[in-house]
Amino acid sequence: MESRKFAPIDENQGGTAVAQEPARLRKRNKTFTDVMLSVRDLHVSFKTFGGEVQALRGVSFDLYKGETLAIVGESGCGKSVTANTIMGLIPKPAGRIKNGNVLFKGKDLTKLDKSEMRKVQGVDISMIFQDPMTALNPTLKIGEQLTEGLRTHQKVSKTEARQKAIKLLEVVGIPNPEERMKQYPHQFSGGMRQRIVIAIALICEPELLIADEPTTALDVTIQAQILELFEEIQERTGVSIILITHDLGVVAKIADRIAVMYAGKVIEIGEKREVFYSPQHPYTKGLLASVPRLDLKEEELQPIEGTPPDLFAPPIGCPFTARCPFAMEVCDRIYPATTGLSATHAVDCWLQDERAKKVFGHN
């Protein structure tokens, strides 16, 4: 059952999506068949004064070459920890990978030592951070911040690195790149800085880009521009993107697939269309219902009642049980198995069980 969750996308499935989303026709016609990154049963914990926080409790997903996978969920669900674990940025010794693998093109990143990992960081996998106001070093010229990664990992001369950096600044939409190379971060606006952060991430031509809430700290108009930039870059370079966000609007715009995380687990994963139009997990449904809608008259937002579980002592069963309107006795005791709904769509929920369908009638 587990394996179906990660089965390659069916071509016919991709085909049907075209009618609904003509704007993304070109990309949709592509099928993503090469698994680039495979996260398997990842458990990550952090030691704190209050005890051990089980931030990730068995996260598994695949990422295909050239696709954009969005990881969504509320604060503290483990989205950023997932990104940091893949990137090798878990603070040690407080954080620990207790179990599981991160296979990047067949290589297990969790087994690499620090110096081997440095050859992956910024080269094969790059990361874009949430707040561009703090992600750039205030005391270094942006030219240096752009080129230092390249100069560390590849044998290029200063002028070559400079040329490449200038070209890249042009690509990400910075006017007068040559002048701008000599400036410091405080001389740029927030949107500009995020463009620079993106340029820095791209300088070594990585195959995977992990963007951790890349638009959260930006104005709405700038957000749209940055998202367009992501699409443009992906079209140009074929880079795979993991987009971590809690903003479903962002997801709707650029994701191919969506993974919904809750309390350190991926509870539903599927193509964007599947997750948006036929969400199966009650949490996913609640998440989608809580988005404000312009076409409905109701004035109040519909929040999901309650709070996520305490990850110091996570529940044995489904962590959403306490907040779930459909909770059954079994939910509290046993974590549900993964049910494959289609080749691409899978969910961890007891409601998928035949016996539950008898209880609730047609679901």
Partner 1 sequence: MAIYIVKRFFMMIATILIIATLTFFLMHSIPGSPFDEERTSNPTIQANLEKFYKLDQPTHVQYIHYLKSIATFDFGPSIKKPNDSVNKLLARGFPISLELGMVTILVAVISGITLGTFAALRHNGIIDYAAMAFAVVGISVPNFVLATVLIQQLAVNWNLLPPATWSSPLHMILPTLALATGPTAIIARLTRSSMLEVLTQDYMKMARAKGLSPMRIVLRHALRNALMPVVTIMGTMLAGILTGTFVIEKIFAIPGMGKYFVESINNRDYPVIMGSTVFYSAFLVFMLFLVDIVYGFLDPRIKLHRKEGDA
Tokens (6 digits) for 33: 């068949």
Residue 106 is a binding residue for partner 1 (CB under 8 A): no
CA dihedral (168, 166, 182, 89) positive or negative: positive
Member of 121, 240, 245, 352 binding partner 1 (CB under 8 A): 121
Residue 327 is a binding residue for partner 1 (CB under 8 A): no
Stretch that binds partner 1, among 20-28, 137-145, 170-178, 260-268 (CB under 8 A): 137-145
Total residue count of the chain as it appears in this document? 363
User: Measured between alpha carbons, how far is 148 from 161 in angstroms, rounded to an integer?
Assistant: 9
| Number of H-type helices and E-type strands within the chain | 16, 12
Smallest distance from partner 1 to CB 65, Å: 21
Classify the phi-psi angles of 63: left when phi > 0, otherwise alpha if psi is within -120 to 50, otherwise beta.
beta
Smallest distance from partner 1 to CB 55, Å: 17
Tokens (6 digits) for 321: 């049980």
Residue 138 is a binding residue for partner 1 (CB under 8 A): yes
Asked if residue 93 has a cis previous peptide bond (ω within 30° of 0), the answer is yes
Q: Which of 224, 284, 274, 217 is nearest to 254 (CA)?
A: 224
Member of 63, 97, 123, 328 binding partner 1 (CB under 8 A): 123
Residue 22 is a binding residue for partner 1 (CB under 8 A): no
Residue closer to partner 1 (CB basis): 188 or 350:
188
Residue closer to partner 1 (CB basis): 111 or 357:
111
Residue closer to partner 1 (CB basis): 129 or 283:
129
Smallest distance from partner 1 to CB 194, Å: 12
Amino acid, single-letter form, for residue 317: G
Residue closer to partner 1 (CB basis): 30 or 141:
141
Residue 176 is a binding residue for partner 1 (CB under 8 A): no
Residue 122 is a binding residue for partner 1 (CB under 8 A): yes
Member of 48, 137, 290, 307 binding partner 1 (CB under 8 A): 137
Instruction: Kindly write down the DSSP assignment for every residue of 105-149, as one continuous string.
Output: TTEEGGG--HHHHHTTBTTTEEEE-S-HHHHS-TTS-HHHHHHHH
Q: What is the dihedral of CA 264, 260, 36, 225, to 10 degrees?
A: -120
Binders of partner 1 among residues 241 to 280 (CB under 8 A) are none
**Residue 355 C-beta-side C-alpha neighbours within 13 Å:** 7
Q: 75, exposed or middle or buried, with CB in 10 Å at 0-12, 13-18, 19+?
A: exposed
Residue closer to partner 1 (CB basis): 91 or 303:
91
Residue 136 is a binding residue for partner 1 (CB under 8 A): yes
Q: 74, exposed or middle or buried, with CB in 10 Å at 0-12, 13-18, 19+?
A: middle
Tokens (6 digits) for 114: 């620090």
Residue 168 is a binding residue for partner 1 (CB under 8 A): no
Residue 87 is a binding residue for partner 1 (CB under 8 A): yes
Residue closer to partner 1 (CB basis): 134 or 290:
134
Residue 96 is a binding residue for partner 1 (CB under 8 A): no
Q: Site residues (CB under 8 A) for partner 1?
A: 87, 89, 117-123, 126-127, 129-131, 134-140, 148-149, 152-153, 183-184, 186-187, 197, 200
